[in-house]
Amino acid sequence: MSTLSPKTSYNIRALATQLLGQILSDGRSLSVALPHFRNQCQTPQDAAFLQALIYGVLRFYPRLCFVCDKLLQKPIKTKEIDIYYLAVIGLYQLMFMSVAPHAIISETVEAARVLNKPWATGLINAILRNFQRQSKTLLPTIDSNEIAHFAHPRWLLDEIKSAWPTEWQTILTANNEAPPLSLRVNQQKITRDDYLKTLQTEEFPADKILGIPAGITLKTAVDITKLPGFNDGLFSVQDGAAQFAAELLALKPNLRVLDACAAPGGKTTHILEKEPNLQALVAIDIAPTRTALIQENLSRLHLSATVITADANKPHTWWDHQLFDRILLDAPCSATGVIRRHPDIKYLRQPNDIVKLALQQKQLLQTLWPLLAPNGLLLYATCSLLPAENSDIIEAFLTQEPSAKIVPISLPVGFARAIGHQILPGQGNLDGFYYALLTKA
């Protein structure tokens, strides 16, 4: 990848090209890579534009590639992949953004210079101007190509189609939509109705999430630090589907609760808000950077828990041999249910990841089950859409563990499966989530 030229001016499209390269070529996640590039922006407006640009390109990258390849007379060399990324960024602006075309072309061509690739200015100019001339005949051809139309890699498209033969098109369409900003009101400090009135007074219109006691969705996305009560811990950012976890645990005073794989701590804090009189809440995650996020969320909300940096698969390194009445296993997964929030998942995940993740999920379930007290509840949760990570895992576990019994789940949104409950992306305007509730006989 190229570096920015010290002799040329600051250019948002050049920054976006480098950011796209870090994700698609280097395999960095968007959430890790984006902050560094936002910090290089000269104004908040530029940072917002950069973010909108990169999210949009990632949502529709296969479609943009289809169009770009039609416009190229010969493929761009692999060593010049940044110029291909820049061309795709230019096409996204012309196809999806309400920016004047002449400004798009001018700034995108200039970005090639800023990237130390002056030879590519003519190529970028030609691609974008050819698109303008050919768009009326070119755009209809997108619908004839399944990968371009649905903007998902072939393997993932086929996995979702196989898992959801009647819903797959709806799922893929939902994956490409911008998600809402959803909050969880801290009902230990304020009622949802009172917080909604506060938002209305300060001109932040929002609605209740139906069927979720603490959930609200803002009608337009905003900087959450500007919302009333941010520093006072009146709310947390959390999708409504994730808020079902604390509800399903049937919490009561004096219980011992384990939140395994707990980072960043959204469900940990919700458990404490839901039931402040627990005997203990142990939140565990494998890396110091991840447990730091849990501590950060606990601190902002003025809550406390026992936070441990350790491998949940190795209880001998952290467990005190006191059984837990409730275990939340928010298992590491493919995150195929939250692609609309993390569009880079489409390209960072690979088919063999599903097999590896399923092995990890099975191991965690087998390891944590002995830590559950008799008549206790274990809630298995993923943000995956794939049966290999969801019902297949639970079905196999029930077969081999005679003390495990499934507890029926009734939720106001999603599908009751033969085993567990699945929410698909966009249902009730929620993220995709799977839940299965087990009790120890």
Return the residue matching tokens 């275990």.
Answer: 327
The per-residue pLDDT for 9 is 72
Going along 331-417, which residue ranges are E strands? 372-382, 404-407, 415-416
**What is the fold of 181-237?**
Alpha-Beta Plaits (3.30.70)
The structure tokens listed for 8 are 């040329």
Which residues in the chain are classed under CATH 3.30.70.1170?
Answer: 181-237
Check residue 403 and give its pLDDT.
98
Residue 371: what residue type?
Answer: L
Interatomic CA distance for residues 64 and 201, integer angstroms: 42
Question: Does residue 58 contact residue 89 with C-beta atoms inside 8 Å?
Answer: no
Percent of all residues in the chain with a pLDDT value above 90, rounded to a whole number: 97
Looking at residue 2, its pLDDT comes to 59
CATH of 240-440, one of 3.40.50.150, 3.40.50.10140, 3.30.465.10, 3.40.50.300: 3.40.50.150
Catalytic residue of the set 68, 261, 333, 383: 383
| Residue 1 pLDDT | 58
CA neighbours within 13 Å on the CB side: how many for 4? Answer: 17
The sign of the CA dihedral 318, 324, 329, 330 is: negative
Backbone angles phi and psi of 227, in degrees to 5? -75, 145
Q: Under CATH, which architecture does the 12-151 domain have?
A: Orthogonal Bundle (1.10)
The parts of the chain modelled with pLDDT lower than 70 are 1-8
* AA letter at 128: L
What is the bridge-based pairing of β-strands 433-440 and 404-407? Answer: antiparallel
Spatial CB neighbours of 48, under 8 Å, sequence gap ≥ 6: none
Q: pTM for the complete prediction?
A: 0.94
- 383 is annotated as an active-site residue: yes
Domain with CATH 1.10.940.10 in the chain: 12-151
Cβ neighbours of 187 (radius 10 Å): 16
Region(s) of the chain under CATH 3.40.50.150: 240-440
- pLDDT attached to residue 8: 54
Residue 5 is predicted with a pLDDT of 53
- 371 neighbors 315 (Cβ within 8 angstroms): yes
CA distances from 88 to 68, 395, 426 (A): 7, 44, 27
